[in-house]
């Protein structure tokens, strides 16, 4: 079936990066599509399946405000084509920083709208809430570099469409919990390799750290419970036609325990024939 990927979200959250990544993956891309033209575009590409096997469109706050509320109804009226909605978000502090660095103006902070940047970010978040509720996947780009976001899109869009896409990510609690996570697990109760001088500079991907954690009974008990929980509920979500599940595992610095658990859980799920993508937010 043809694919129509709708890339939406907050201004400054990375929609342009995602669209360019999809273009590199041979998607036919259209940016800043007015919402009231979405149905017309869908009919056009359905009529020419050979030329438009994969299409991505960017829809954002630049559409008229009165059209934003029609999004859910429009999506429901389109059939004969598989639609995925990717919503990109970031925290207020990150978006403010990005706009200050690029010196670009927010779409709601123009001569026409006259909102301050802070007011524009808050208003946009409210106006785009319906899009967020309809999204198949929400990506928090606050802590992501451009290359990390591109890699994540490549991984997600390379997955088969007939199974739920599982994303497992490690993170540091001191840098904030990823708000795109469906499940969050706290590994800070486990023995910390950071306090072993010979392991401090290493990560959970290094053999010495893995050997240390594999030798701790508490860590293995935690991993066993985590693995059984993940397997059970991934299957339940798949049976309920869920497209994406994000499992986030955090520790203090996002270097040792959470990385080890993500690597181990990834391997466990692969053995159970559950395809998944692993990400380590704090590791370059």
CATH number for the domain harbouring residue 74: 3.40.50.300
122 shares a domain with 227: no
Q: Count up the domains in the chain and report the number.
A: 2
Q: Does residue 128 carry a pLDDT above 80?
A: yes
116 shares a domain with 79: yes
pTM: 0.70
194 shares a domain with 152: no
Rounded Cα distance, 151 and 265, in Å: 20
**In the predicted model, what is the mean pLDDT of residues 238-253?**
84
250 shares a domain with 189: yes
240 shares a domain with 113: no
241 shares a domain with 105: no
Do 185 and 237 contact (CB within 8 A), yes or no? Answer: no
Which has the closest alpha carbon to 278: 155, 167, 202?
167
Q: Indicate the residue among 141, 157, 173 that finishes a domain.
A: 157
88 shares a domain with 13: yes
Rounded Cα distance, 54 and 45, in Å: 9
Structural domain including 170 reads: 165-280
136 shares a domain with 10: yes
Do 152 and 244 contact (CB within 8 A), yes or no? Answer: no
Q: Residue 56: is it exposed, middle or buried by C-beta count within 10 angstroms (0-12/13-18/19+)?
A: buried
Rounded Cα distance, 13 and 35, in Å: 19
| SS3 assignment, position 111 | coil
Q: Does residue 193 carry a pLDDT above 70?
A: yes
Query: 């946009």: which residue's tokens?
Result: 124
| SS3 assignment, position 198 | coil
183 shares a domain with 150: no
Within 10 angstroms of residue 156's Cβ, the number of other Cβ atoms is 20
- Identify the top-confidence range among 66-70, 110-114, 193-197: 193-197
150 shares a domain with 264: no
Residue 53 pLDDT:
92
84 shares a domain with 32: yes
Residue 237 pLDDT:
80
Q: Which residues contact 218 (CB under 8 A, 6 or more apart)?
A: 189, 190, 191
Sheet architecture: strand order including 3-9:
28-30, 54-58, 3-9, 82-89, 137-140
Provide the token pair at 136: 């198949």
- Identify the top-confidence range among 58-67, 130-139, 155-164: 130-139
Mean pLDDT of the chain: 89
132 shares a domain with 214: no
| C-alpha separations of 166 from 132, 151, 177 in Å | 19, 15, 18
Residue 105: DSSP 8-state = P
**In the predicted model, what is the mean pLDDT of residues 48-57?**
92
């Amino acid at each position: 079936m043809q694919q129509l990927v709708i890339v939406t979200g907050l201004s400054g959250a990375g929609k342009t990066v995602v669209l360019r990544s999809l273009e590199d993956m041979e998607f036919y891309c259209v940016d800043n599509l007015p919402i009231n033209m979405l149905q017309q575009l869908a009919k056009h590409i359905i009529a020419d399946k050979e030329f438009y096997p994969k299409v991505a469109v960017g829809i954002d706050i630049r559409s008229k405000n009165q059209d934003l509320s029609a999004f859910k109804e429009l999506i429901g009226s389109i059939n004969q084509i598989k639609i995925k909605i990717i919503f990109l978000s970031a925290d207020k502090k990150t978006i403010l920083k990005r706009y200050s660095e690029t010196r670009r103006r927010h779409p709601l902070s123009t001569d026409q709208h006259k909102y301050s940047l802070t007011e524009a970010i808050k208003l946009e978040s409210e106006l785009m809430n319906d899009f967020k509720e309809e999204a198949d996947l929400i990506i928090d780009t606050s802590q992501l570099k451009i290359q990390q976001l591109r890699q994540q899109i490549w991984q997600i869009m390379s997955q088969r469409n007939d199974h739920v896409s599982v994303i497992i990510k490690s993170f540091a609690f001191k840098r904030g919990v990823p708000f795109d996570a469906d499940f969050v697990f706290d590994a800070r109760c486990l023995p910390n390799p950071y306090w072993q001088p010979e392991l401090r500079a290493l990560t959970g991907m290094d053999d010495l750290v893995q050997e240390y954690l594999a030798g701790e009974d508490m860590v293995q008990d935690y991993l066993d419970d985590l693995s059984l929980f993940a397997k059970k509920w991934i299957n339940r979500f798949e049976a309920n036609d869920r497209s994406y599940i994000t499992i986030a595992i955090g520790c203090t610095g996002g270097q040792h325990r959470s990385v080890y658990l993500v690597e181990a859980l990834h391997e466990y799920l692969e053995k159970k024939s559950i395809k998944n993508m692993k990400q380590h937010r704090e590791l370059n």
